[in-house]
Amino acid sequence: MKAVNTKSGPVLKILGGAEANHRAGVELALSNPAFYPHYVKAIEIEETHISKVFLTGDFAYKLKKPVDLGFLNFTTLEKRHHYCEQEVLLNQRLSQDVYLDVVVITLEQGGYALNGPGQPVEYAVKMRQLPREKTMLELLRRGKLSDDMLQRLLQFLARFYEKAQRGPTIDAMGSQMVIEGNVEEDFSQTEPFVPSILNPDKFSRMHDAVRAFLRNNTDLFQRRIETGFICDCHGDLRLGHIYFLDHSHFPDDIQIIDCIEFNDRFRYSDVAADLAFLTMDLDFQGFTDVGQTLLTAYAQEAGDPEVFMLLDFYKCYRAHVRCKVECLRQATGELAARKAKLAVERAQRYFELASGYAASFSRQTLWIICGLSGSGKSSIATELANRLNVRVLSSDATRKKYFGLAPDEPAVVEFGEGIYTRVATAQTYERLLLLAREELFHGNSVILDATFSTRLHRELFRCLAVEMGANVIFAECLCPDAVLRVRLAERQTGASISDARLKHLEAQRQAFEPLDELGEYLHLQVSTGQPLQQSLQQIFAAAYLLQGKQTRASQSARVRNIRASFTPCKKF
């Protein structure tokens, strides 16, 4: 093999008639520093299941493999050319001066050349080679990613999603039917690796959980379309694709590369699915807290509290996709034994991660919306129920029904009298307990709207959650005293199912026992003096973190349930 200079640049001669096998010849040419029209000190090669990248120092050249994996097809020269052009075009949305051109590799005088006048035999994407140490992953590993950098990334992504292309064709990709097709395709493509690589019981449970989530959240997926959260996203938003660079060399210090170009339906998606890929990658690499910070900031910036309702579902999908990729890589037979073993290990790690997410989003939650009368419990509970599509059990409605009163029939008495004696209140909570047990027994989450002013009643419901294998969230509603008084005073003239009035406030406040027995895994506080949307966002963000902790505690100590972290249930 030797390089010959021509007017079109260096031509790498492949001796021995190797031109009959152009693919092998092209890869051999790209592996030789003499092939390039610019200085190359050494060449590194990075390989995935669909591409091969030749790193030359200043530039990188990316070849697409001639494969058909069902979800992509690079089997013809024309298709590889088309998708090279798509890759350059689409990646310019999130990067500048990185994707430079599509280069043609031609057959010249028995050898190969870049952009020569001869017959095109292959195409490659030419990119500016970026320093690996500047990826978000490497910066995190070295403790070099600051809060300011994370905030800039959030703003960078928020601008991208705000300006991203939308429309009926893109909206259709966010439909329940298309999402179901995507996940079923993934499960069918990973099933051949069960049980050789993947645990069959966990595979089956995960598949069932995903199907149930899709079946039970039709309204949520439709609402995401109607509220504009489906757009032309990145599709492969991982830590290794995000760079923080020097302003002096690039127009923007944040550069994001390697979006999905080969299949629009993988890129046209919910913003939640795009961000789920990034936060899943953060979980995989051990930076879960960073992901939580990023998501909470995004939800506030975009006014999108429902992102937390979808996050574990899409994280499961994304982790399962990465599991599939690693399975396919080792199945090619092209990897050396050590690399194949590593691919299997990564596949199993992603599979375990996906399984954990499935356990989280399929686990019921007992929502306890509690606090003083007038603190906004009912408004929060009603809106939460509308978003989650679950039942609300109200102590006011339950109490009046139990004692034979119509919901709007007033029963205003002095504090602790009438249908509000300690015995009547105990009977009301016992009825609520039975109704909540029934909902959980049927696999449903449920919301309780009551003051829950005593530790005794809180303990009963906490033990119910333990018994039924459900998460439990005590969301304590708090608002300024002045707001509380105004709300209670308005009940004097307005219709209200609640009989609590301003005259009862001080006595109720004195009787209310602080929720200090619950601990950090069960209890969150929400400010209800702010707009309802902001209160919901606060609840969803905090509850997502608590639900994850409770699910993991349950998985790691099934026999003890979550009693290892909390005080034992008392006998009454």
Q: How far apart are CA 312 and CA 531, in angstroms?
A: 26
Cβ neighbors of 126 (< 8 A, separation 6 or more) are: 59, 60, 61, 100, 101, 102, 103
CATH classification at residue 190:
3.90.1200
Q: Token pair of 490, please? A: 């308005």
Q: 161 with 61, same domain?
A: no
Q: 285 with 387, same domain?
A: no
Residue 572 placed within a domain = no
Residue 383's Cβ-side half-sphere holds a number of Cα atoms within 13 Å equal to 16
Specify the number of domains making up the chain: 3
Digit-coded pLDDT (tens) for 456-490: 999 999 999 999 999 999 999 999 999 998 888 88
HEC readout, 455-513? HHHHHHHHHHHHHHCCEEEEEEEECCHHHHHHHHHHCCCCCCCCCCCHHHHHHHHHHCC
Cβ neighbors of 89 (< 8 A, separation 6 or more) are: none
pLDDT band at 14 (very low <50, low <70, confident <90, very high): very low
Q: Which residue intervals of 13-76 are DSSP H helices?
A: 22-30
Q: 178 with 276, same domain?
A: yes
* Boundary-marking domain end, from 316, 334, 361: 361
Q: How far apart are CA 130 and CA 288, in angstroms?
A: 26
Residue 487 placed within a domain = yes
| Residues 522 and 546 sit within 8 Å (Cβ to Cβ) | yes
CATH classification at residue 444:
3.40.50.300
Longest Cα separation, the chain: 102
Q: 290 with 176, same domain?
A: yes
Query: Is residue 15 over pLDDT 50?
Result: no
pLDDT band at 182 (very low <50, low <70, confident <90, very high): very high
Among the residue ranges 72-86, 174-188, 481-495, the one predicted with the least confidence is 481-495
pLDDT band at 415 (very low <50, low <70, confident <90, very high): confident
Digit-coded pLDDT (tens) for 310-365: 999 999 999 999 999 999 989 988 889 999 999 999 999 999 999 999 999 999 99
Q: 340 with 406, same domain?
A: no
Q: pLDDT averaged over the chain?
A: 90
Q: 151 with 293, same domain?
A: yes
| Span 381-396, average pLDDT | 96
pLDDT band at 250 (very low <50, low <70, confident <90, very high): low
Domain of 426 in residue numbering reads as 365-556
Q: Which residue has the higher pLDDT, 386 or 110?
A: 386
Residue 251 placed within a domain = yes
Q: 391 with 535, same domain?
A: yes
The pLDDT of residue 18:
42
The pLDDT of residue 284:
97
**Buried b or exposed e, range 16-38, using 16+ CB within 10 angstroms:** eebeeebeebbebbbebeebbee
Q: Token pair of 203, please? A: 């595979």
Q: How far apart are CA 171 and CA 168, in angstroms?
A: 5
H or E element at residue 196: none
Residue 504 placed within a domain = yes
Residue 568 placed within a domain = no
The pLDDT of residue 6:
39
Q: 116 with 42, same domain?
A: yes
pLDDT band at 495 (very low <50, low <70, confident <90, very high): low
Among the residue ranges 60-69, 265-274, 494-503, 510-519, the one predicted with the least confidence is 494-503
Q: 311 with 429, same domain?
A: no
Query: Is residue 86 over pLDDT 80?
Result: yes
Residue with tokens 């690796």: 193
The pLDDT of residue 490:
84
Q: 117 with 144, same domain?
A: no
Digit-coded pLDDT (tens) for 273-305: 999 999 999 999 999 999 999 999 999 999 999
pLDDT band at 3 (very low <50, low <70, confident <90, very high): very low
